[in-house]
Structure 1
Amino acid sequence: MSVTGDSVSEGASGAGSGLGAYLRLLRLPGAAPLALWGVIGRAPIAMRSISCLLLVSAETGSLTDAGLVAAAMLLAQGTVSPVLGRTADRYSQRRVLLTACAAHVLGMTMLLVSIVLEAPLPVMIIAAVATGCTSVSFTSFMRARWAVMVDQGMLRTAYALESMLDDTIFLLGPLLVTVLSTAVHPAASLVACALLTLTGSIAVALHRQSEPTPEPTVGRGPERAIKVPGVRVLMLCYAGMGFQFGAVDVTMIAFAREQSSPGLSGVFLALISVGSLIAGVAYGAVDWRLSQARLLSVTTCVLTLGVVPLAFAGSSLMMCFLAVLAGVAISPGLIAGSTLLESVCPKGALSEGFSWLTSAGALSIATGTAVGGRLTDAFGSAAGAWAGVGGGCVALALSLVGQPVLSTRRPVTEATSELAVQEQ
């Protein structure tokens, strides 16, 4: 590790707990700029699909076409994201970020032109796939960078900060999309997404202090993250949680419709993020005595139990309170999962490992949305809530069964051992 990296780690050691931990984290050299540019680079995550839906529906008048185009983009991103993470681990994040952001802007331009010119649906879908394939998992890259910036004692706070910023983005992103699409032009929000991705990617790529160093190899490529049992268990846990998130989103929309107040669906979804944000701040400020593996089981249990009351909501006011309750364990669960991933994944495969978690969560959110939508259409909003409980139960069961592998520390490869000897 470089001298700069060592000094940062030492500064982070023993940072303690409490809300002041966030200030101590941001005072570390280079930490505040990294957090800022990370927010700018991943803001489009909460904007891109909604922007696509609004623009396609505005230009074609078809919500079906809009849904197909947005889904194609999301599925392509979820599929290719681990490949980009793997490439970053092998050749450096900087190269991948700079190359991908240029290709992404080109793909986004193709998508914008095809939609505005009302090209045939297959053309729009191809452009959407190109856009998705060039979208790096910015959240994954950022978490890998924080693992370089700080030591283990400060890492929980760093991941808590990331979750807080994610929640803030998902609170403000849809609002920004609505303002740009209605007050400026339906295409303005997609243009903003391209500019934000370009700016954030370049700035983070040039933040050399936090860049993970590609793992040195001895006669072979770096170890694959997907081959580590702990990573696979975490992927399945994230899939269960993602399914729950998708089903709960549909539940909120269906409940608002049942109350003859469809506009409240946005309020309910925002309140889930509020609960997650508040809980994330508190979770990251506490110096927990339980192991991260046990904390994952505790948080997934709370996450599952928090969704059960949604099936019994009797009024919009009650649902507002229950929505906050349902979001309380989201950030803590994801923080525990991120911290575990850092401990079980090979050091030279963190970008790939985090990308696998992101993809597993994203694809299962789509599945949960689809299943929840069918159930709510047939049996009402309560059925969607119970589907979400089912996803949470899967995550909880896997976190319990997987305790042995989740408690195993990162494997030490031959290359890593050789590097350690050289440093000594």
Structure 2
Amino acid sequence: MSEGASGTSSGLGSYVRLLRLPGATPLALWGVVGRAPIAMRSIACLLLVSAVTGSLAEAGVVAAAMLLAQGTVSPVLGRAADRHSQRRVLLTACAAHVVGMTMLIVSIVLEAPLPLMVAAAVVTGCTSVSFTSFMRARWAAMVEKGLLRTAYALESMLDDTIFLLGPLLVTLLATAVHPATGLAVCALLTLTGSIAVALHRRSEPTPEPTVGRGPERAIKVPGVWVLMLCYAGMGFQFGAVDVTMIAFAREQSAPGLSGVFLALISVGSLISGAVYGAVNWRLPQARVLSLTTCVLTLGVVPLAFAESSLVMCFLAVLAGVAISPGLIAGSTLMESVCPKGALSEGFSWLTSAGGISIAAGTAVGGRLADVFGSAAAAWAGVGGGFAALVLSLVGQPVLNVARPVAEPTSELAVQEQ
């Protein structure tokens, strides 16, 4: 790690110390620009397709195709970044993404047959890098371990902020300007953020192929598998809880409150993430992951017993309290167990596992809510959280193992020792 504060890194001042590092503030800001479409792209697609075709079913198919394509291909792009550099992958992918997004917008506006819209959505998803994963790999390359937890906490808070404001922005653009504006802005943000981050050389992770063979694969590391499965359990819970909030608002004859409930979950996560990143935790991160998944699971249980909108507002904040700490602990563990030259791939696997399981949790929770009510969806979320908890406990031995490959020896490494 080349930069960082070597002293204490606890307290809210740790964020100030982090952002004072050369290049840290521009990296954080451009990272927000590049990944803002994560919270906007699928909603913008739903709004445009439904506005043009009048079919929510077709809109759901197109949006799902885009998300599934992204979840499937992002680890491949992460692997390419580890082998050939993030800069090359970001610049190539963002150019292809603009082409794919243009095809998607044109096909929808011209009311092309559904298979053509789906094909354009797949191209768009396949060219969408896991920006969050790339950013975490960059922080790991840029700061020392003492500030790495704070960097991941900052990333988590920025993600929460994006998911608070992104849907509001894209909805405003689609309704006040034109239904296609949301997707067009997503393409512009992806292009701008990708180029800016790609040119941020200070944080560029260095490809580190092993002599005589290719770089170590993240997917071959047992600890990576445990983290992927934990993220899958948490993602399933997130999807089910989202449906719980929407279904509960409908049951209260106030569908507009669903957005408020979902925003309050992000508020709880944002506050806890800020506090978590400011505390210098002494517990092993593997144990912290188990503790946070336990709190995450217990926090969803009360949602099944809510009887009023006011109570649900309070419970929504509580349900979000453990989200950021759990994801931060997972990111910190990934940096510890994953081969240094495969971090972009490793973080991409986490993002894919979480994203695909969110879709699964949404589908299962929606089915249960339609048949049995919002409480059933909440219990499905509890099941996902419990699975993550069990996996984190069973996986303690491999999560506590040090990095699986030795760091390359160099004059700088010898001097640091």
Alignment TM-score, normalising by the size of structure 1 = 0.96
CA distance in 2, matches of 1:108, 1:349: 29
Superposed displacement of residue 411, structure 1: 1.4
Superposed displacement of residue 289, structure 1: 1.1
Q: Is the 8 A contact 1:247 1:388 kept in 2?
A: yes
Given the alignment of the two structures, is residue 82 of structure 1 paired with residue 75 of structure 2, yes or no? yes
Amino acid at match of 1:154: L
Given the alignment of the two structures, is residue 125 of structure 1 paired with residue 118 of structure 2, yes or no? yes
CA distance in 1, matches of 2:5, 2:372: 52
Q: Give the match for residue 35 of structure 1.
A: 28
Amino acid at match of 1:289: R
Q: Give the match for residue 92 of structure 1.
A: 85
CA distance in 2, matches of 1:20, 1:411: 33
Distance change (3 Å), C-alpha of 1:379 and 1:14 = same
Amino acid at match of 1:252: M
Q: Please list, as runs of the form range in 1=range in 2, the aligned pairs for 1:236-385 lying within 5 A after superposition.
A: 236-385=229-378
Amino acid at match of 1:271: L
Given the alignment of the two structures, is residue 26 of structure 1 paired with residue 19 of structure 2, yes or no? yes
Q: Give the match for residue 61 of structure 1.
A: 54
CA distance in 2, matches of 1:188, 1:197: 14
The C-alpha deviation readout for 1:217-247, integer Å capped at 9, x for no partner, is 2111001000000000000000000000000
Secondary structure (helix, strand or coil) at the match of 1:13 reads coil
Amino acid at match of 2:264: L
The C-alpha deviation readout for 1:343-366, integer Å capped at 9, x for no partner, is 000000000000000000000000
CA distance in 2, matches of 1:149, 1:404: 28
CA distance in 2, matches of 1:289, 1:319: 34
Q: Percent of aligned pairs with the same residue?
A: 84
Given the alignment of the two structures, is residue 116 of structure 1 paired with residue 122 of structure 2, yes or no? no
The C-alpha deviation readout for 1:124-159, integer Å capped at 9, x for no partner, is 000000000000000000000000110111000000
Q: Is the 8 A contact 2:249 2:257 kept in 1?
A: yes
Q: Is the 8 A contact 2:210 2:216 kept in 1?
A: no
Secondary structure (helix, strand or coil) at the match of 2:280 reads coil
Q: Give the match for residue 211 of structure 2.
A: 218
Q: Give the match for residue 171 of structure 1.
A: 164
Given the alignment of the two structures, is residue 203 of structure 1 paired with residue 196 of structure 2, yes or no? yes
Given the alignment of the two structures, is residue 183 of structure 1 paired with residue 176 of structure 2, yes or no? yes
Q: Is the 8 A contact 1:15 1:154 kept in 2?
A: no
CA distance in 2, matches of 1:12, 1:202: 28
CA distance in 2, matches of 1:306, 1:117: 46
Q: Give the match for residue 7 of structure 2.
A: 14
Gap regions ≥5 residues in structure 1:
none
Q: Is the 8 A contact 2:149 2:328 kept in 1?
A: yes
Gap regions ≥5 residues in structure 2:
none
Secondary structure (helix, strand or coil) at the match of 1:114 reads helix
The C-alpha deviation readout for 1:45-101, integer Å capped at 9, x for no partner, is 000000000000000000000000000000000000000000000000000000000
Number of aligned positions between the proteins: 415
CA distance in 2, matches of 1:158, 1:234: 19
Distance change (3 Å), C-alpha of 1:346 and 1:259 = same
The C-alpha deviation readout for 1:280-320, integer Å capped at 9, x for no partner, is 00000011110100000000000000000000001000000
Superposed displacement of residue 423, structure 1: 6.4
CA distance in 2, matches of 1:232, 1:310: 30
Amino acid at match of 1:103: A
The C-alpha deviation readout for 1:102-142, integer Å capped at 9, x for no partner, is 00000000000000000000000000000000000000000
Amino acid at match of 2:40: M
Q: Is the 8 A contact 2:86 2:198 kept in 1?
A: yes
Amino acid at match of 1:27: R
CA distance in 2, matches of 1:421, 1:257: 60
Q: Give the match for residue 401 of structure 1.
A: 394
Alignment TM-score, normalising by the size of structure 2 = 0.98
CA distance in 1, matches of 2:256, 2:12: 35
Q: Is the 8 A contact 1:46 1:173 kept in 2?
A: yes
Secondary structure (helix, strand or coil) at the match of 1:12 reads coil
CA distance in 2, matches of 1:53, 1:295: 37
Superposed displacement of residue 12, structure 1: 2.3
Distance change (3 Å), C-alpha of 1:215 and 1:423 = farther
Amino acid at match of 2:205: P
Superposed displacement of residue 412, structure 1: 2.2
CA distance in 2, matches of 1:376, 1:276: 24
Superposed displacement of residue 178, structure 1: 1.1
Secondary structure (helix, strand or coil) at the match of 1:58 reads helix
